Structures are given as structure tokens and as C-alpha cells.
Amino acid sequence: MSLNWFRFVSPSVKKPPFHLNYFTSSFGFSSVVVAMSYDKELAAAKKAASLAARLCQKVQKALLQSDVQSKNDRSPVTVADYGSQAVVSFVLQQEFPGEFSLVAEEDSKDLRQDGAQEIVDRITKLVNDSLTSDGSYSVTLSTEDVLKAIDSGKSEGGSEGRHWVLDPIDGTKGFLRGDQYAIALALLDKGKVVLGVLACPNLPLTSISSADGHSSRHEVGCLFYAEIGGGTYMQPLDCSSTVKVQVSAVENPEEASFFESYEAAHSMHDLSSLIAQKLGVKAAPVRIDSQAKYGALSRGDGAIYLRLPHKGYREKIWDHAAGYIVVTEAGGVVTDAAGKPLDFSKGKYLDLDTGIIVTNQKLMPLLFKAVRESVEEKDSSL
């Protein structure tokens, strides 16, 4: 059943098994906003992302141990990317065998070309190993099964019905370097993000303290998850413990630190620097690949995230959907550079003004002002 928000007024309300927000009217009646729970969908998303993370960890470990890996050889991330998408697609279809819609980054076109059989075989073995690794599934998928699972991600999304949104490896360059990447999975219901999961295999369980965002290799691997109206939580990838997280409460921009993309090609570092200058931010930017930035910000590692891509670039929904709800449910605010909320109901792309800005509610007015002034200055200098 789709999410239906509705409001009713009752003199006495018994608590049903839904998420509730209570308000008191001037007449003394209780007005209640009710949302159906997505607990089953969230459990499936966590399982899918965790199994996909296990597959990616296995591939990255082999990559980093190899002495002969060429810097230009992208086959490891190709295998992990496709394998991750196949695992997530399979798990979700097993858990929800009825109507299924997945908006995802990959399809099997290149894998069906001549000369791709060796990679397809590697992907198939990894997928089967991952699905059976914890006893959740007793299956052996054929190569065609795997290719079909990958091709299940061809949905266009939109404002009607439910759509899963997946980036099977967000941060492919980070993956190849042995740094940060994320498996990012979200669910849209009528165009609204209602849950999100970020599996970040290399993100430390404790706060990032260094200015370069590299993992310490001690106790790494985080799973962030959020359901609409339910807050944001973090677990180790083995789900051995759970903590509720909140964005930074910093109010003074001089005390704030900010995240931006590791790759200069992904975000205008010079514009970010100008914004930080106007705010009086003293700390150097923390540059991290992938939506791991959203996860780190949701637990207060930094106070600001700036994503300011070069002109002409269009953001895809899978690059932000999971991170968006992880931060907003942790008390943060996510808008475009014009202060408008992100709209995930228009298909595969986000229509944005300039870029995306993320912070807490106290800092947002100051950040927004600094962003607008900096954008205008940059435009006038061209």
C-alpha cells in the first residue's frame, strides 16, 4: 500500500502501529499526522545494501593486494558495480515479488558484447557467493539471471507509485584508490524519499578527524539508515550495535567544518573556498568521495556539505536520494543553491539551481546568504 499522508481530528486517539506526530488544536482535540510504516522495506534495503557491501569489499581487497593492477584498469570497479546492482536487485525482488521498479545506474548492454564473458563469469560468481554467504538465500544464479537482475534497474522513476533508487557504487574513483565509496539505496513513494540506506565500507565508525577524509583502517564500515519520521541510525556493517545520530549543533560558522567532493571535476572547489571565506570558516575542507559525506555529516563529523558542480552538469537522483533522507532525518537541511527543496519526482535527474547545500537548521540562513553572494560574485567576474 502506498504512503498516504492524512490528517484527522479525534477527541481521543489510541496509538496505532504507525509513525505519529501529535498536535493540539485550539479546541482541545488531538490532530494527528499519520504515515504508514516502511519497516519491512527498510529491513530489505539494509539486507540488500549489506550483501552488496560485502561483495564490494571482497573486490576492493583483491584490488589493493594486487601488484600488477594498472592505474587505468577499471575492471575491478566494473565487476563490483555490476555485481552490487545485481545483488540489490535480486534481494529486493525476492522480498517484494509483486510490482517492482528500480532506478539504477547500470544496465547489461556492455556485458553482452563480444569479449565480456570473462567479466560476466566473475560477476556471476561474486553475486552467488555474496547471496549465499550468510545463509539468507540458497540459490545459484546463471549468468543470464544476473544480467536480467542488472537490467531490472531501467525504470525512469517519477511521481507515481514506488521506485527503488540505487547507486551500486557511488564514488568509483575512491573505490579504485582504496578510499571512500558507498552503496546508496533509497525508496521513493509518489516522488518522495521515504527511506534510505548508505553502506560505507571504508568509513570509520568514529568521527573523521583528519582533513583528508581517509579511513584509519581501524574499525571501519558503517551502515546509515533512515525512515521518514523515524530518525537516522548508524550501525557497523555487521549490525552488531545501533546508535541514533544527529547533525552537528554548531551555530557559529567560524567553528564549522565542511565537506566537499574529493575530485575537483565533481565540484567547484574555488567557489566552495569563497563561500567558506565569507562564512569565516577556519578549518580546511574535508574532501571525501561519494555519499559517505552525507553519512558523516548526519552524525556530526562536519557541519556543512557543498556540492557545486560545473555548469551544464545534471545531478542524478541516485547520487543524492539516500543521502538526502539520512541527513534530513538526522535534523539537517538539504536544498539547492536557491534554497529550494530537492525534487525527486521528475525522473532520473534533479533540476537544480547551481548545486546542493547541506547543513543544520541554525546555519542554513547564513550558508544560503554566503552561497548566493559567492555565486553572484563568480558570475560577475566571468
H helices present in 152-194, as ranges: 172-177
Q: What residues does 316 pair with on adjacent strands?
A: 349
CA gap 76, 123 in Å, rounded: 10
Within 13 Å, how many C-alpha atoms sit on residue 188's CB side?
A: 30
Beta-carbon contacts of residue 142 (< 8 Å; ≥ 6 apart): 124
SS3 of residue 293 by DSSP: helix
**Catalytic residue chosen out of the listed positions 124, 167, 170, 172:** 172
Q: Are 103 and 155 in contact (CB under 8 A)?
A: yes
**Crossing angle of the two packed helices 117-132 and 75-95, in degrees rounded to 10:** 50
DSSP 8-state symbol, 112: G
**Catalytic residue chosen out of the listed positions 81, 179, 319, 336:** 81
Distances (CA, A) of 161 to 86, 189, 230: 22, 6, 21
End-to-end CA, the chain: 52
Query: By C-alpha distance, which of 198, 165, 206 is closest to 345?
Result: 165
Cα angle for residues 74, 297, 219 (degrees, 5° grid) = 65
CA gap 351, 361 in Å, rounded: 23
CA gap 112, 76 in Å, rounded: 18
| 172 flagged as catalytic | yes
Residue 165 in grid coordinates: 533508487
Region of 330 (left: φ > 0; alpha: ψ -120 to 50; beta: rest) is alpha
Residue 323 in grid coordinates: 543521502
* Cα torsion 222, 223, 226, 232: sign: negative
Catalytic residues: 81, 172
